[in-house]
Amino acid sequence: MAAPHTCRTSVEIASQPDTWRQAAASADSLSAALPRRGERVAVVGCGTSWFMALAYAQLRETGGHGETDAFAASEFPTGRGYDRVLAITRSGTTTEVLDLLARLKGTVATSAITADPATAVMDLADTVAVLDFADEESVVQTRFATTVLALLRAHLEAEGALPEGVRPIAGAIEDAQRAVDAPIGDDLRGAEQFTFLGTGWSYGLALEAGLKMREAAGAWTEAYPAMEYRHGPISITGPNRVAWLFGTAPQGLADDVAKVGGVFVAGSEAAGGLDPLADLILVQRLAVLIAQDRGYDPDRPRNLTRSVILDDGQA
Ligand code: F1P
């Protein structure tokens, strides 16, 4: 039986199979706001939304849908030629995202994906996909972020191609339920440090996993492309420290982690083999548990607000 929810964040985490299902079912009706096959696209966002942008950019380009870059909204390289700029913003109020969309208005097609249709992003982007059913009370993003990726995956699938090895969204939704229900070991809960690793699109997920654990639990986390792990980051791993891999592990990596005494976790092997997006749910749940173990309230993360709204002169 699933554990009872102890905070709003865990209720939202557990709802992901449903919100992914709803997003997949909306892919067709929301397609006007989503990149078309062949377009050269830049995807932008801040924080979690930036990491979802990174994951999607890899999925889209390796799936053969067109060149796709991802940038933190504040780092968008003006002057590049794109057919479309897609902004991801749960709140619809993040200053750097809105400023960029205002600057780009009339120069390139712009789209946005948001949770809140009562915000400025609705006017600043040319077309908007609203995922209000995935909005969150929680400051820390969980289900909105993954639901955006579920929507974008379903859209790529409907347009004809997913990269090799990426499962259809229906399989990911099944895995999401398994990730919601899977037990989480005490060795993970008590670990001192976490290094998250990914390849291709799952590198964006690794970055998000690291951010989630920092935001919700104040945990010491790092994130790298999996093949970069041996180029320095492995020096941090040791007993009671975790190296967590999203997707397929590079050959020999598990042995390398074992050699330095670390704990190796491969979501693709956990709970019978999880889709990397569902593996992220395990990390979200772990972040809540660690936060509570440390006496933090996951619903009220330290130093964070739902959205960063800067004063004139700060941006
Ligand atoms: C993006 C974001 C969050 C972060 C923090 C501030 O918001 O950077 O990812 O956790 O709470 O806002 P949004 O543009 O997606 O609303």
Q: How far apart are CA 27 and CA 173, in angstroms?
A: 15
Angle at 125 between CA 122 and CA 130, to 5 degrees: 50
- DSSP, collapsed to helix, strand or coil, labels residue 38 as coil
CATH superfamily placement of domain 176-293: Glucose-6-phosphate isomerase like protein; domain 1 (3.40.50.10490)
Q: How far apart are CA 170 and CA 168, in angstroms?
A: 5
Position in ligand 1 atom list of the atom nearest CA 49: 15
* DSSP letter, residue 42: E
- Whether the pTM exceeds 0.85: the reply is yes
Residues 176 and 277 sit within 8 Å (Cβ to Cβ): yes
Whether 3 shows a pLDDT value over 70: the answer reads: no
306 CA from centroid of ligand 1 (Å) = 6
Residue whose C-alpha is closest to residue 172's, from 304, 49, 3, 21 = 21
pLDDT level of residue 269 (50, 70, 90 thresholds): low
Query: 72 vs 187, which has greater pLDDT?
Result: 72
Percent of the chain topping pLDDT 70:
97
Q: Which two tokens stand for residue 263?
A: 């704990």
Res 272: pLDDT: 65
Any residues with Cβ below 6 Å from ligand 1, and which? 45-49, 89-91, 94, 97, 139, 141, 215, 304, 306-308
18 phi, psi to nearest 5 deg? -70, -45
Res 195: pLDDT: 98
CATH superfamily placement of domain 8-166: Glucose-6-phosphate isomerase like protein; domain 1 (3.40.50.10490)
pLDDT level of residue 107 (50, 70, 90 thresholds): very high
Pocket test for ligand 1, best of 307, 309, 310 (most atoms within 8 A of CB): 307
190 phi, psi to nearest 5 deg? -95, 5
Task: Summarize pLDDT for 166-223 with one digit per residue, the tens.
Answer: 999 999 999 999 999 999 999 999 999 999 999 999 999 999 999 999 999 999 999 9
Position in ligand 1 atom list of the atom nearest CA 211: 10
Q: How far apart are CA 99 and CA 83, in angstroms?
A: 19
291 CA from centroid of ligand 1 (Å) = 19
79 CA from centroid of ligand 1 (Å) = 26
300 CA from centroid of ligand 1 (Å) = 14
DSSP strands (E only) in the chain: 41-45, 68-72, 84-89, 109-114, 127-130, 193-198, 221-225, 241-246, 263-266
Task: Summarize pLDDT for 213-253 with one digit per residue, the tens.
Answer: 999 999 999 999 999 999 999 999 999 999 999 998 889 99
Q: Which two tokens stand for residue 181?
A: 């229900």
Domain boundaries in the chain? Answer: 8-166, 176-293
Whether 1 shows a pLDDT value over 70: the answer reads: no
Pocket test for ligand 1, best of 97, 141, 309 (most atoms within 8 A of CB): 141
